[in-house]
Chain A
């Protein structure tokens, strides 16, 4: 019957498109099980290599570390902004900040990193200022190292973090804070006991998004790390493209996919559990 098949006809083209990705992902899986030099049988040698070789392993542990630190910093910096624009700002200010955030959100990532180079570089803004004010004798090393990458990561994920946080804060019932104030709670206690707990779902969502973006970041370690900072995306790109080592690149991609999936699962479960506590 026509009406029965209609929805399937409508979704079929989109599903066909998505299936190319699934085919690609299964290719990644297939390649990652290939052994070295021409052996046909499937093997775990690539994964073994990633797990035992200290320098490969470092890419993963160090990426996780950088992602965690940058997410934490973005959370600390982003929360006040999200809170301010939703609770304190005038409607006009709010709109302005919102538009600005969206402009950031949509602005080109490569070019944003370029701007950071102009700030952090040897003769960049910060060094000029520091030396001009006599705070430093010689240029400080602010990029091509961990610091530079962290600044880049934080700057990259801040808009996402703020927009996620802003989402929950906007949905907060303002009367709750007023109720708490009428019960005699001082502002900082209201914030800690009422506002913050209700924001946890947004914090979890923003943390998940930011962590994944940082973890998978490629442009930042390339431009602000000068390709010398060990991040997974750089490893995958080097192996797959520059060194034409598709099996190892695929295995690394497989592991990254797994880690990302685990992060999504873990944080979603956490968010669900947190919200379940409120529900009967």
Chain B
């Protein structure tokens, strides 16, 4: 008797907490179809007008462009820098390896606001650098630790003798890397790419410090929420949620969700 009560109590608690976490998203979903130009719940009727409005709002268009640009460029750069670094950390034993390991993870330990103001001051000091370039650097800094960590985990799961075997069969180091290592950790790399894109796309706080005339999408949404009072943002949120679900799905397929967080 008491056992089944405990069980159902725990279950109820669990689903209560999960509901609490999911509720904001569900409400947004509902409101996005509201007929009226209010954010009141429950919605008064069904309409798709706000979805159209998302695309007609100039700041969202600019934001989307800017966010996509930042996400693609900074994740490409982070991969280009992170993969070799991960290779060095896993495949080589060299003086200062541990220090490098800590150093590459350093951005994880810097609060976002501090990172924001730091890069603002850095850009001021360099002075000739454009806003967008600084943002790219900032996003690379934010994403790099995750990329390195994921690639390191993937490489560690691979028998290093596979590359050695390839080399003894006549493959140059880069051939061994592209013909053996890349295909074997390929899914992991794809997962790392998606993760990098998502992290960059959603960054808000540090990004706020460096926004010039062109906001990113989350910043545009933030500004819209603070000034306007209609469901357009709800429609935008729903679209971004769909993109998020797609990202989760891809990551589940490519790296396995549990591997990502542990």
Residues of chain A touching chain B, judged by Cβ–Cβ distance below 8 Å, are 4, 6-11, 13-15, 17-18, 20-25, 27-28, 31, 77-78, 80-81, 83-85, 88, 97-119, 121, 123-125, 128, 155, 158-159, 163, 167, 170, 187, 212, 215-216, 218-219, 222-223, 232-233, 236-237, 240-241, 246, 249-250, 253, 256-257, 260-261, 264
Contacts and interface: CB of A to CB of B under 8 A. Distances in A.
14 contacts: A21-B122, A27-B122, A81-B18, A103-B248, A107-B241, A109-B202, A112-B25, A114-B28, A115-B237, A233-B205, A240-B120, A253-B114, A257-B111, A260-B109
B94 A216 contact: no
Interface residues on B, range: 35 or more
A158 B225 contact: no
Interface in B141-167: 141, 144, 148
A218 B208 contact: yes
Interface in B70-87: 77, 80-82, 84-85, 87
A128 B42 contact: yes
A20 B10 contact: no
B84 A253 contact: no
Interface string B234-250: 10110011001101100
Given A84-B11, A123-B40, A128-B42, A14 B122 contact: no
B66 to A, nearest CB: 15
B205 A218 contact: yes
B142 to A, nearest CB: 10
Contact of A249 (B117, B226, B248): B117
A99 B249 CA distance: 8
A233 B208 CA distance: 11
Interface in B195-240: 198, 202, 204-205, 208-209, 218, 221-222, 225-226, 233-234, 236-237, 240
Contacts of A114: 24, 28, 221, 225, 233-234, 237
Contact of B17 (A14, A77, A125, A264): A77
B113 A216 contact: yes
Given A28-B121, A250-B117, A115 B244 contact: no
B186 interface: no
Given A88-B11, A117-B225, A118-B39, A108 B240 contact: yes
A256 B103 CA distance: 20
A163 B120 CA distance: 33
A4 B247 CA distance: 40
A11 B84 contact: yes
B248 A102 contact: yes
A57 B109 CA distance: 23
B257 A98 contact: yes
A228 B114 CA distance: 21
B141 A20 contact: yes
B213 to A, nearest CB: 14
A10 B87 contact: yes
Given A84-B10, A110-B222, A118 B27 contact: yes
A99 B257 contact: yes
Given A18-B141, A112-B25, A102 B260 contact: yes
Contact of A111 (B11, B118, B221): B221
